[in-house]
Amino acid sequence: MKTLSDFNFKDQKAIIRVDFNVPLDENFNVTDTTRIEAAKPTIDKILKDGGSVILMSHLGRPKGKEDQYSLKHIVGETSKILGVNVKFAEDSRGDVAKNAAADLKPGEVLLLENLRFYKEEEAGDKEMAKELASLGDIYVNDAFGTAHRAHASTTIIADYFPENKTFGMLLAKEIESIEKVLKHAERPVTAVLGGSKVSSKITVIENILDKIDHMIIGGGMTFTFIKALGGKIGNSICEDDKLELALEILEKAKAKNVQILLPVDVVAADAFSNEANTQIVDVTQIPDGWQGLDAGPKSLEAIKKVILESKTILWNGPLGVFEMETFSNGTIELGNFIAEATKNGAFSLVGGGDSVAAVKQFGFEPKMSYVSTGGGAMLEMLEGKTLPGIAAIQG
């Protein structure tokens, strides 16, 4: 399979699927430029070769053509980050897109309008894919965040480039990082799974049990396990229909020699509020009317020991309600432990919306080996699924 470096883009038009689904404020300013910055190395390589670039992306979930979801709002920020005056096509189909692409000269960058203004994009429509394909000479997929979707621009389009298709640098790095954890990990391997629901992580847990040595369970899903084991969880969040499942996971882990670490103490609160009264209690003895909202000090000590002995760490999900300062300590401390382990030579991969948000909020991003840009896509890869956007390039 060809990589980006196998191509010389001189006088070639590269049509790149990027993930510029970035957050905007009420004045349409980009509030987080990470995804645009992540695509820059791929774009730079093509321009440096003497090629031109056609960028295509979606933004939000528009119902038809809606101005608030227009990619024109990000042209200024994209131009600034790329250091090139980005041209904009006010449509991603028809003569507007065709003419703008035809006029493109080497060294120039064109951004097409939001692909999801057409329902055919998400439907994986062949005609739309063929139309988009006709705009470029080489197809580059650099959008990991949408690689798990069989959309016209992420998967179907690749059929029209039997030889001239490749991953961008970002997508290649995403695949490499996840495979490093799943297939080539240095042991011991530790997975930290947080968040509120066991149900959303069950397939991940089942797929990675064979590949890990330790599993640290934190966040709201803790209480489903604790209740299943007979503990008193007060008013803590719990999936009552998943108690049997929680016990099954513990049994499977034991059979595979995976050490499961559940919190032993928690910061409990008498309300779901930053201003609530708090106390540190045994995780199996949470009083009625109280709920566990963060990991306690004894739990953090145990977690620290495991993390610092690990050579490979996967972090998916926070340890508490980190959005509230009162309950952010567990997640911050976990970040500190993983940063320290990484500094000592461990490989750390962070993925999933909440963990990535926490890593950015508390300044841990540069201290991790890799922070994934795709929440759903990363989870599906960890579940062992083949992503259509990746298979389309490899096929």
Catalytic residues: 35, 197, 353, 376
Q: Which residues contact 182 (CB under 8 A, 6 or more apart)?
A: 208, 211, 381, 382
What stretches of 14-117 show up as alpha helix (H) in DSSP? 34-49, 75-82, 94-102
The CA-atom distances, in angstroms, between 9 and each of 36, 53, 221 are: 21, 10, 49
Beta bridge partners of 190: 214, 313
Annotate 217-280 with DSSP letters as a single string.
E-GGGHHHHHHHTT-EETT----GGGHHHHHHHHHHHHHTTPEEE--SEEEEESSSSTTS-EEE
- And the tokens for 39? 């695509």
Q: Coil, strand or helix: which one is 145? A: helix
Taking the CA atoms of 250, 302, 194 and 209 in sequence, report the sign of the dihedral they define: negative
CA–CA separation, 278 vs 150, rounded Å?
Answer: 47
- And the tokens for 31? 């509030």
Cα angle 351, 357, 360; round to 5: 100
Beta bridge partners of 24: 30
Cβ contact 20:35 at 8 Å: yes
Please give the distance of CA 384 from its chain centroid, rounded to a whole number: 15
CA–CA separation, 333 vs 154, rounded Å?
Answer: 38
CA–CA separation, 35 vs 375, rounded Å?
Answer: 13
Q: Coil, strand or helix: which one is 319? A: coil
Residue 394, burial from CB neighbour count under 10 angstroms (0-12, 13-18, 19+): exposed
Please give the distance of CA 1 from its chain centroid, rounded to a whole number: 24
Q: Which residues contact 361 (CB under 8 A, 6 or more apart)?
A: 322
Between the two ends of the chain, the Cα-to-Cα distance in Å is: 9
